[in-house]
Each structure stands twice: as structure tokens, then as C-alpha cells.
Structure 1
Amino acid sequence: MLPTESKKALSFKRCIEDGDLVIVYERHDVMKPVKVSKDAVLQNRFGVYKHSDWIGKPLGTKVFSNKGKFVYLLAPTPELWTLVLSHRTQILYIADISFVVMYLEVVPGCVVLESGTGSGSLSTSLARAVAPTGHVYSFDFHEQRAVSAREDFEKTGISNLVTVEVRDIQGEGFPEKLSGLADSVFLDLPQPWLAVPSAAKMLKQDGVLCSFSPCIEQVQRTCEVLRSDFIEIRTFEVLLRTYEVKEVKMDTSSMVGESHEDNEGMRPCKRKHRSNEDVTVSQDNSSNATSVVMARPCSEARGHTGYLTFARLQCLA
């Protein structure tokens, strides 16, 4: 019997218990997963934190070290897990993942097939999207990666929603037992065109397929094969631009009637009062120094990750 009827919802306990996995958050770019153990401690640059002090606290709690410094204890949501998981392969990040979940039309109760599993970044978000009654079947040809993925899904509490199998989808295709059961299929393979005919057999009528490829040549060859059984073939490249916003001190003596950039290329964000005059956020009256909020694109913003090709299975009359 296929485990598609699981009634257990994907949820996170609001209070931390011994053995739970939490995300220790220092700042937006410094986080780590930690398994809570009543006799363990966490040491970082801020001091020592006793796990025993965490137990019974609600997720989202600010906890203090022996030096009075603090971190936050957060739930291992798919968004945070994507940022802290071990990279066994190149992973999909939040921009691509959100696009995939939307365009594959994944909702609670769906059955989704995925190849390959990789580091499990997308799998985690798919599991939340299909919960509580749907299921994700993920396949990877590499046995150790599959084992590691199962262990991660156990840690994050989604193992009842994801089945991981070792299988070469390019060479063998998807298992016949899943034929006609999938609402959507996701392919992340070196030669996705080899798996397209099998994916078509797995999909329900009007089902949707997505193929992720880093090179446009892979996209072109995949689209050639898709035309046999699929319609609405579209390819997207998702580019994300992140901004850094911070408060800085500026010398206002040379800013009268002008808008200047600081040395880092950041522009001041101004607020409008009822008089419609532009004013800065705050001002130090004792000098010409003024505090203003600056915004600029992050210097290490991610660029191209890959191309997402979507297609809908053609319904036969």
C-alpha cells in the first residue's frame, strides 16, 4: 500500500523538548542546526549556552549565555533548513523553490515525484506543501545521498511525508507502481530529456512537469522531447536581488537641496512629513552629523542558478 494517506500534519511543537532539532540564530547569515540534549552545551563567540535552559521554552525564544549575550531558538522551517543544511550537492534556494511550488500547483493532498533528491532542500518545501495528506516520492541514484536525506527528514519531522528510494531515473525511469498517480513531477538531472517519457506515464491528466537545468543547451534538448506529450512549455530564469538596509551617520553640511550617495554607494531613504518636505530619519542637533537609513544591493547577491522549464501533460480525447 502506498503511503499517500498519512493523516499526520507537518507541524512544529511550540515548546522545545529534549531531542528536538532547533535552529540557533545569531544573525541572518550566521545560523546552525542543533539537536537539543539536556546534558549538552553550545559554545560560540558569545559564551556558553546550556541546553537544559532551552527545554520547555517556546520556539522563537531569546536565550542568554553565561556572558549575557543572546541567540534565538527557531523552528527548522523549510526556509531556514535550506540555509543551514549540509550541501551534498548544489541545492535550490528560496527564490527557485517558491517558483517551483507555485507553478507545479502543489497543494495539500498532492502526490509529487522528484528526481534527484540531492541535499533535500526542495523536498522539504514540497513536503510542507502537500501536508497533511499528500506525499513526496524522491529518487536518487546515489545510495549514500539517499541515506543522508532520510536522516535529515527524520530530524526535521517530515519523514512520514517523504519516501526516498535509490533509483537511476534516467536509465530505469520511475517505478511502474506510481503510474498515473502523480499530480506533478520535478526533474533535476544531467540529462532530463531521458526521463521525460517515463514522467509522462506517471502524471495524471493535466499534470505538470518541471525540469531544472543550469545550461540552456539542456533546456533546448529537453523541450524538443517535451513537445511529444506536453503543452504550455515555458522556461524561466529566476533572479533575486537582495538589499542591505542600515543606519549610518552623514555630514549634512554639503547636502542642502541635493541627494548624495555615501562612500559605499548607498542612497538615503527619506520620510515625508505633512508639509511634504523631505527630512532624514533622525538628527544630532549638536553637530552636522545626521543619522539616515541607507539601502544598497548586497555585494554578494546570488546570480544565475539555473533554468526552470514547465510543461503540462496533454489531455488525450
Structure 2
Amino acid sequence: MSFKGWKKYIEEGDLVIIYLTRESMCPIFVKKDEEVHNRFGVFKHNDMIGKEFGSKILYIADISFISTQLDMKPGARVIESGTGSGSFSHSIARTIAPTGKLFSFEYHEERARLAAQEFQEHGLGDIIQIEQLFLDLPAPWEAVASAKAAFKQHRTGKICCFSPCIEQVAKSVNALNENGFIGKYITMYECLIRNHYVTPVQKLTFAEAIERAKTEPNAHKRKNAEANAEDAVNTILMSKTPLETRGHTSYLTFATFLPAIENNLEANDELQEEEPASA
């Protein structure tokens, strides 16, 4: 797979996941004339080059929702506080490539070292190193003031706090209000994936349903072809959802930092001073 963009066919240097069993998978970088040996046999890298990629990694709904709400796009500059496994870092880098920049911070030394090594191996070293900010911390409210200071004060900035508990949300919202984030632009969401089960249902009025129930014992006398044709005409598709939806991952708190009027005026004055006089 290519981490900088979508790619249909495997090329030399790409990362490929060798799927052996559900419990055994092996990542390799495709290199010409090399081979992979396992209990299933010998697999030549040359045979992989030119083949279509198989299944892609699926990310949880939170990732796409955060990227959309923060308006991430090519050229954006993003701060991520809490690199972790680097999964979201990869997603951000792909979204803001090729001209954007991600500044990712991780307090755990070993995780930071492994993540930095992985970013280099995946060709993202020039992108991952501030107009959008993502806080994946135990206490994101403690970082709000520093986050505000990192924004360009004459431009609009956006922030997202990732909090598993509602108590964390309350503290984050208080900190956002105290630091000048406008209340009506502070929102909180929870992303849940809900299954819809689609089934065909006959279009019957209440009276028709009663009549059908009364005559049901004689239904076997109808010809199959006739019955199927009638059912097809009088059938619509309906969906239903399970009574309970599980899968809570976090509460996502978004806020927008609007630049102060005086900051805007100062920025405009600076721009006018820098612009050459027009004839």
C-alpha cells in the first residue's frame, strides 16, 4: 500500500501484508528478486509487482468525522497531541499531503521512537513533523491554553478534543470558554456505527392483513408462480435497527477560535505594508 495516496497496483518499495492466518500476518516491503518463505511455500516479490492490492485497512468512523469537522485538506498544518500507535497520524498525513505538515507529539519515548521510524519507512517523514488541532490526552483541558497560543492569531483555527468520558467533556468545554473559544461554535458528537437490516415487507392495510391471516391455511392451494408474482408487486423494502447500539469510542468536542478584531486589523496593516504600491 502507498501511505501518500491511493494506488491500485503493487510497485517495488510498497508495503504489502502477507496474510497467513487470522492470527498470523507478516508485513513486507516489496523488493525486486527477493522471496518470502513460509510453511505455505515460496512467494516471489516479482510475482507481486503489478498485481492489484487486496483489502484496505478500515478506520473507525471517528477518523473520517474528525478530518471533516477540522476541514483537513492538502496544505493544512495540523498539531496532534498524543501520537500513540500512529494510526490517525497516517490518516492525517494522507489527507493533507503533499504540501501539508503534521506536528505530532508523544510523551512516551519508546512509542515516539517507533512512530518516527515507521513514518520514515512509509515515506511520510517530509509531512509528519496551525490551523487545526487534535488533542488525544487524558486531560485535554490542561492543553487548551497552549493550543490557543499555537494558532495564528489573525486566522480562524479549529480544535478537537478526544474524550472517552463525559466528565472530561465538561472540563474541556469550560476550558474552551475560558480561553476565548466562542460558545455557539463549541459542539460535541458521538460517532456510533448502527447496522440496518433490510427485509422485504408486503404492503397491506390493516383490513388486508386480517383477511390474509384468515385465509392463510388455504394459501398452499395457490399456484407458486401466481403467489410469487403477487408478492413481488405488493412488496417494499424496509429497514430496522437493533434495539441497542454498542461501540462507544469517545466523545468528540469541536471548537472554533475566531481571531480578535484588533488582530485582524493589525494583520491587514502588515499585509498592506508588505504589498508594493500599485501604479
Answer yes or no: is the 8 Å Cα contact 2:194–2:241 preserved in 1: yes
Answer yes or no: is the 8 Å Cα contact 2:156–2:256 preserved in 1: yes
SS in 2 for 1:54: helix
1-structure distance, mates of 2:196, 2:112? 36
How far residue 240 of structure 1 moved from its aligned partner, in angstroms, is: 0.9
Corresponding residue pairs, total = 225
Question: Which structure carries more relative contact order (alpha carbon 8 Å, separation 6+)?
Answer: 2
Pair 148,49 (structure 1): closer, same or farther in 2 beyond 3 Å: same
SS in 1 for 2:171: helix
Corresponding residue number in structure 2 for 1:224: 174
- What residue ranges of structure 1 are gaps of 5+ in the alignment? 1-8, 61-72, 84-92, 164-181, 246-256, 259-270, 280-294
How far residue 53 of structure 1 moved from its aligned partner, in angstroms, is: 4.8
Deviation digits for residues 214-240 of structure 1 (CA, Å, limit 9, x no counterpart): 111111111101002112111111111
TM norm structure 2 = 0.68
Query: What is the aligned-residue identity percentage?
Result: 39
2-structure distance, mates of 1:272, 1:203? 65
Structure number with greater Rg is 2
Pair 124,109 (structure 1): closer, same or farther in 2 beyond 3 Å: same
Corresponding residue number in structure 2 for 1:313: 257
Corresponding residue number in structure 1 for 2:274: none
> Higher helix share goes to which structure?
2
Answer yes or no: is the 8 Å Cα contact 1:219–1:309 preserved in 2: yes
Deviation digits for residues 257-303 of structure 1 (CA, Å, limit 9, x no counterpart): 79xxxxxxxxxxxx999962549xxxxxxxxxxxxxxx9979xx851
TM norm structure 1 = 0.60
* Residue identity matched to 1:102: T
2-structure distance, mates of 1:56, 1:155? 19
* 1:276 and 2:276 matched: no
> Higher strand share goes to which structure?
1
Answer yes or no: is the 8 Å Cα contact 2:131–2:151 preserved in 1: yes
2-structure distance, mates of 1:241, 1:49? 42
Answer yes or no: is the 8 Å Cα contact 1:236–1:309 preserved in 2: yes
- Coordinate RMSD, CA, aligned: 3.8
* 1:34 and 2:41 matched: no
1-structure distance, mates of 2:144, 2:197? 41
How far residue 25 of structure 1 moved from its aligned partner, in angstroms, is: 5.9
* Residue identity matched to 1:202: A
Answer yes or no: is the 8 Å Cα contact 2:103–2:128 preserved in 1: yes
Pair 198,57 (structure 1): closer, same or farther in 2 beyond 3 Å: same
- What residue ranges of structure 2 are gaps of 5+ in the alignment? 199-211, 214-227, 262-279
2-structure distance, mates of 1:193, 1:212? 11
1-structure distance, mates of 2:20, 2:52? 15
